[in-house]
Amino acid sequence: MKAIFMGLGYIGLPTAAVAAGAGITVLGVDVNPDVVATINRGKIHILEPALATLVKQVVEQGSLRASLEPETEDAFFIVVPTPFKQNHRADISYVESAIRMVLPFLQVGNLLVIESTSPVLTTEKMADRIFKERPELKDTLYIAYCPERVLPGNVLYELEHNNRVIGGLTSEAADKAAAFYAQFVKGRLHKTNARTAEMCKLTENSSRDVQIAFANELSMICKKAGVNVWDLINLANKHPRVQILQPGCGVGGHCIAVDPWFIVSDFPEQARIIKRARETNDYKADWCANQVLEACEHFVHETDREPLVA
Ligand SMILES: NC(=O)c1ccc[n+]([C@@H]2O[C@H](COP(=O)([O-])OP(=O)(O)OC[C@H]3O[C@@H](n4cnc5c(N)ncnc54)[C@H](O)[C@@H]3O)[C@@H](O)[C@H]2O)c1
């Protein structure tokens, strides 16, 4: 089995390296020449524990190499960025560009998996584009969507042990993709259709966002009410069916502040709680900054010092 990973960033490089470590011959493709050169020297350009050792090992043994151009292989994985645009709509131009790059190399019987976090229907749209350009491949490719849910800092462990959701455009495609991941994933491989898998990734991070927003909103209410929010949550969580999270300065990580917008922008009428949660968590960062400023001003006033902030 030979596989291509399009995109060698925080997700693509570790996945390519783990696959290579499991005996798959991997070609990693990236549009950034520095990334390609670094990996071909057996080095890495991102921070991730234990990844440098694994990449050095698989590059030295010849199971991972990097290139600016794809080649003909058995399986193709799209792991490029999916940020949002000014209007919060998903920017899938990197996915479109990676699909365009692999298009001339696709052959009958190939597996094509999109891993990039994507709005619902993206996999179907990409399949339509492929078959428009290469109609002879219709019904001969296995196309699936398999989102990533690893935590940066623990990526190598989670790539192997997390459960995966694999959505095929057909059940045969889901089977074929699951067989690929089974070579290095010890977690469970849950098969479904592509739409459900796309929505599943967005739902996971929207669920986290909504729950964090509830804690963040409580903290702002408690400030007004003169209630200690930490004591409050601790006491409320004594209820057997209540589990409130801890408030913070918004949300952290690469995904939670981005992915819910992919639901909101596609379903604005329905996604009311998800939208409010996103706004609440963004607002909480400003609120925290203002709390710090107010505390500074209070300090200056109390101590009769020069203002700390102009
Ligand atoms: N980083 C995370 O914690 C995380 C977790 C889960 C899911 N994801 C999702 O995984 C996807 C990839 O994220 P990432 O953090 O690895 O991004 P990243 O920015 O770290 O890396 C993406 C890489 O893709 C390359 N690239 C761009 N266009 C390309 C093309 N046409 N062909 C080949 N390479 C191309 C870039 O040069 C870059 O090196 C995104 O959809 C993201 O939402 C990320």
Domains and CATH numbers, the chain: 2-201 (3.40.50.720), 203-303 (1.10.1040.10)
pLDDT digits (tens, 9 = 90+) for 54-105: 999 999 999 999 999 999 999 999 999 999 999 999 999 999 999 999 999 9
Cα 31 off chain centre by = 19
Closest residue by Cα to atom 35, ligand 1, is 7
Position 19 confidence tier, pLDDT thresholds 50, 70, 90: very high
Per-residue model confidence (pLDDT) at position 189 = 98
Among 80, 114, 118, 263, name the best residue to mutate to test ligand 1's pocket (greatest count of ligand atoms within 8 A of Cβ).
Answer: 80
Whether the per-residue pLDDT at 305 is higher than 80: the answer is no
* Mean pLDDT value across residues 135-145: 97
Per-residue model confidence (pLDDT) at position 254 = 86
58 lines ligand 1 (CB under 6 A): no
**Ligand 1 centroid to residue 32 C-alpha, Å:** 12
Per-residue model confidence (pLDDT) at position 297 = 87
Pairing between β-strand 25-29 and β-strand 111-114 as defined by DSSP bridges: unpaired
**Ligand 1 centroid to residue 110 C-alpha, Å:** 22
Among 11, 103, 123, name the best residue to mutate to test ligand 1's pocket (greatest count of ligand atoms within 8 A of Cβ).
Answer: 11
pLDDT digits (tens, 9 = 90+) for 232-266: 999 999 999 999 999 999 998 889 999 999 999 99
Nearest alpha-carbon partner for 112 in 98, 94, 92, 91: 98
20 lines ligand 1 (CB under 6 A): no
**φ, ψ (nearest 5 deg) of residue 182:** -60, -15
Pairing between β-strand 64-67 and β-strand 75-78 as defined by DSSP bridges: unpaired
Least confident segment among 31-40, 137-146, 257-266, 288-297: 288-297
Q: Which atom of ligand 1 is nearest the CA belonging to 147?
A: 7
Per-residue model confidence (pLDDT) at position 308 = 59
The catalytic position among 201, 224, 249, 296 is 201
Per-residue model confidence (pLDDT) at position 309 = 58
Whether the per-residue pLDDT at 307 is higher than 70: the answer is no
